[in-house]
Amino acid sequence: MPKDNDSIINDILKDTENNKNENSESSAEKEENFIEKSFKASEFKLRSAETVGDFEEDSEKPKLNNENVSAESDEFSEPDRQPEKAPAKKKKKKKKRKKHHYRLPGVLILTTLIFAVAISLSLVIIAYGKDMLGIGKSENTQLIIIPEGATTEEISLMLEQDGIIKSPEFFQLFSRLSNSDSEYIAGEHFVRPNMAYETIIEELTSIQSEEKVQVSVTFPEGITLYDAALKLESANVCSASDFIFYFNSGGYGFDFENKLNSSTTLKFYRMEGYLFPDTYYFYENMEPEQVCQKIYLNFDQKMTDERYKKMEELGLTLDQLITFSSIVQAEAPTRETMIMVASVFWNRLNNPDVFPLLQSDPTTYYARDIIKPHMEIEDQLILDAYDTYKSPGLPPGPICNPGIEAIDAVLENFQSDAFYFYADIDTGQTYFSATLEEHEQKIAEYGG
């Protein structure tokens, strides 16, 4: 049971009295004991006040006792030294938390990173959205040929290669979500980059309307672009003038277009020679661009890597090859004859000092019958450039559209000693000579 206030103070007094009798203790030890007892008294007073709840009423007693303590303390204090007051109890200082200054840069970095990721995701979403909706893309119609059994992945890669879409993976996902993976139809389809994915898929999974009338048009070897346009118009495919305009405009993204000369100053029809002779199937009232692309595609497929390699080995450009082939096509009726006619022109081209002119009659006819009548303003410079009796070397462009046999005849570069040939129109025979005298003799003999 805790002692009351008086008992504690009495104990302190007794201790003080005992301290007076203990001479062996030093004055410093006495002071220390006194301070310790004083602290105990103060501590107990506080505890007692909390228990009883009447600290203010009893405050006088400790006050008297304190006076007694002071009086007693005066008795044992040294005469020349004042008693020291008990030091106040030191309060424990609360440790201040150190501010972590490194948190602010970390928060800024995290915030910046979040914004960067959000902006990047927004840009990606916008890009995919624009591609999916065809926003801001070309309006040019392009021909797509879907092979038999092609998968959605293969089709998407074709579309990317042709510049129709930008993300094959996103197209594949869209196709899968629309349950169209098994609906694609093999064959020819026309699409545009500015079409939405939904419209592209709809086009690739549907066949041409049965209401459209299909027609076939055959272009023979050696036909001119102008005559081909008339055939298309007569078959109700498209107008001749529209076809000539769009065919010469080009820019449909086929590989062979990248090999064409950029300079066309003296050329009359820019794409004369690139209408590959064949039988084509069109629909009545087709868009001219669609007609042109079907023909461009055929030419692009016929010009293989092997042919391009031979062309480069012979030092020819694509324009030179097709121009050379067009002359051979116009001069010779059979493959064997084409090889020999090509040999004559090769010999003349390789000996310009002796034979500066090719002297091919069909070139003269083309300038006279095709170019001149269709010139808005007659340009004699162009007319003379096409006429190989007036200008050296090859003309500035093809004079007709050659077939594959004429192209291969030029690429064969058959070696012979012939520099002249004479074609008998009645018999279809062609005679070759090494000298002018021999040539004139054969003309006299077979020309009647």
Q: Rounded to whole angstroms, how far apart are CA atoms 378 and 361?
A: 21
Q: Rounded to whole angstroms, how far apart are CA atoms 62 and 48?
A: 12
Q: Rounded to whole angstroms, how far apart are CA atoms 68 and 265?
A: 130
Q: How would you write the pLDDT of the chain (448 residues) with one tens digit per residue?
A: 444 445 554 555 455 455 545 544 444 454 455 445 554 544 544 454 444 444 444 444 444 444 444 444 444 444 444 555 555 555 555 555 555 555 667 777 878 878 777 777 666 677 667 777 878 787 788 888 899 999 999 999 999 988 899 889 989 999 999 998 889 999 889 898 889 999 999 989 987 656 788 999 999 999 999 999 999 999 999 999 999 999 999 988 899 999 998 667 899 999 999 999 999 999 999 999 999 999 999 999 999 999 999 999 999 999 999 999 999 999 999 999 999 999 999 999 999 999 999 999 999 999 999 999 999 999 999 999 999 999 999 999 999 999 999 999 999 999 999 999 998 877 888 999 999 999 999 998 887 5
The pLDDT score that the predictor gives to residue 295 is: 96
Residue pair 255/373 in contact by the 8 Å Cβ criterion: no
Alpha-helix runs per DSSP H in 265-379: 288-302, 305-313, 318-331, 335-349, 361-366
The pLDDT score that the predictor gives to residue 265 is: 85
The pLDDT score that the predictor gives to residue 14 is: 57
What are the backbone angles phi and psi of residue 217, rounded to the nearest 5°?
Answer: -130, 125
The DSSP element (H or E) to which 282 belongs, if any, is strand 279-283
What are the backbone angles phi and psi of residue 230, rounded to the nearest 5°?
Answer: -65, -40
Q: Rounded to whole angstroms, how far apart are CA atoms 71 and 92?
A: 33
Q: Rounded to whole angstroms, how far apart are CA atoms 152 and 142?
A: 19
The pLDDT score that the predictor gives to residue 102 is: 54
DSSP state of 272: T
The dihedral of CA 72, 76, 79, 85: what is its sign?
Answer: negative
Contacts of residue 248, defined as CB under 8 A and 6 or more positions apart, other chains included, come to 225, 269, 270, 271
The pLDDT score that the predictor gives to residue 111 is: 80
Q: pTM score > 0.75 for this model?
A: no
The pLDDT score that the predictor gives to residue 188 is: 87
Alpha carbons within 13 angstroms on the beta-carbon side of residue 152 total 21
DSSP string, 28-79: HHHHHHHHHHHHHHHHHHHHHHHHHS-TTGGGHHHHHHHHHHHHHHHHHS-T
For residue 428, give the nearest of 330, 332, 327 by alpha carbon. Answer: 332
The pLDDT score that the predictor gives to residue 87 is: 54
The pLDDT score that the predictor gives to residue 117 is: 78
* Residue 351, burial from CB neighbour count under 10 angstroms (0-12, 13-18, 19+): exposed
* Cα R_g (the chain), whole angstroms: 54
The pLDDT score that the predictor gives to residue 293 is: 94
